[in-house]
Structure 1
């Protein structure tokens, strides 16, 4: 999250309130936060650094957190922005493609496409991501990987994802549709080898 965006006029908390919010609202999210960081970076040390950086920023800008709102979504947004601002620059990934431009091609018939999208929010994806699924997920471009993680693993709504990612809901829907299709293609041969038949 950019510092200029964070320092909006928000309620001021006492030191005691800050520590209570941090411990009661933010710390229970740490496992989900680490999992998200790890899936973004694919590296344990980088994930830990990103997690630490996120929690430091969360405490530093705690006055911008509105009690009663979704603490997990707020933290995920900070983590996502920290990753983009700091870690993507250092990564060995190829230069970023502007998926916003690519997606405009698909937005015209987006509603019809999204209706047929397969929902991956199932136990196997949430709790028992197998090596093949994890490898396929990690091989997706980070923008597509992120929407799969946020929606199908973490269970965020489209509205929450739009806030976390700073993109319109329509873009969230089309990006998720494309991400799921990419993941489906990557898993097709594995599914066949395991004896699964494709549903029409």
Structure 2
């Protein structure tokens, strides 16, 4: 039996599985799409994640359901990649730069947003997941660490490197129209 010091002091209210799915489904789909880069594969990955989460729900303690479900999704994705390993990695340096034939002079922020999404998709997976979960989905660094199964310091490193790569890509694509600030 564990001493009281190791037990959660306040019990966590465990929400209904259906309520968690309804809340987290958009986040799971966006995360799966970032991982797979394919709508059909993302839908399949989310479906399998929900199946696995439903089976494991009785043993889940109710704390941080978003991180828990993202961790299931990530583990399922990694298992599939080990089996198939069909997604080629693309280095940022190997991506062709777009033409700048006056197009960017008439740019609007909707187009910039699309370019940010495209630039994010070109990041290596570790960096893409850290940036997407933290900056796009709004998870805390600790929640991202829990979801990815890595220490918080690793998340900090991946965020720093991923944001720098993203910034460099956006500056190359958008020039002066690229978002400025602490991070993209």
TM-score category (smaller protein): 0.7 to 0.9
Structure 1 residue 161 corresponds to structure 2 residue 156: no
Residue 80 (structure 1) aligns with: 74
User: 2 CA distance for matches of 1:38 and 1:129?
Assistant: 20
Given candidates 117, 133, 136, the residue that maps to 2:116 is 133
* TM-score (structure 1 length as normaliser): 0.67
Q: CA RMSD in A?
A: 2.7
C-alpha change, 1:128 and 1:170, in structure 2 (3 Å) is farther
Deviation at 1:87, TM superposition (A): 3.8
User: 1 CA distance for matches of 2:28 and 2:118?
Assistant: 20
Given candidates 38, 44, 65, the residue that maps to 1:71 is 65
Residue 51 (structure 2) aligns with: 56
Unmatched segments (≥5 aa) in structure 2: 1-13, 91-108
Deviation at 1:76, TM superposition (A): 0.8
Question: Superposed, which structure 2 residues align to 1:37-56 within 5 Å?
Answer: 37-56=32-51
User: 2 CA distance for matches of 1:128 and 1:48?
Assistant: 26
Q: How many residue pairs get matched? A: 150
User: 1 CA distance for matches of 2:115 and 2:128?
Assistant: 15
C-alpha change, 1:32 and 1:132, in structure 2 (3 Å) is same
Residue 105 (structure 1) aligns with: none
Given candidates 168, 174, 179, the residue that maps to 1:191 is 174
Question: Superposed, which structure 2 residues align to 1:110-125 within 5 Å?
Answer: none
The answer as to whether partners of 2:89 and 2:124 remain within 8 angstroms in 1 is no
Which entry has the higher C-alpha Rg, 1 or 2? 2
User: 2 CA distance for matches of 1:84 and 1:145?
Assistant: 15
Deviation at 1:28, TM superposition (A): 1.9
The answer as to whether partners of 1:26 and 1:71 remain within 8 angstroms in 2 is no
Structure 1 residue 170 corresponds to structure 2 residue 153: yes
The answer as to whether partners of 1:26 and 1:72 remain within 8 angstroms in 2 is no
Unmatched segments (≥5 aa) in structure 1: 1-17, 96-123
Residue 135 (structure 2) aligns with: 152
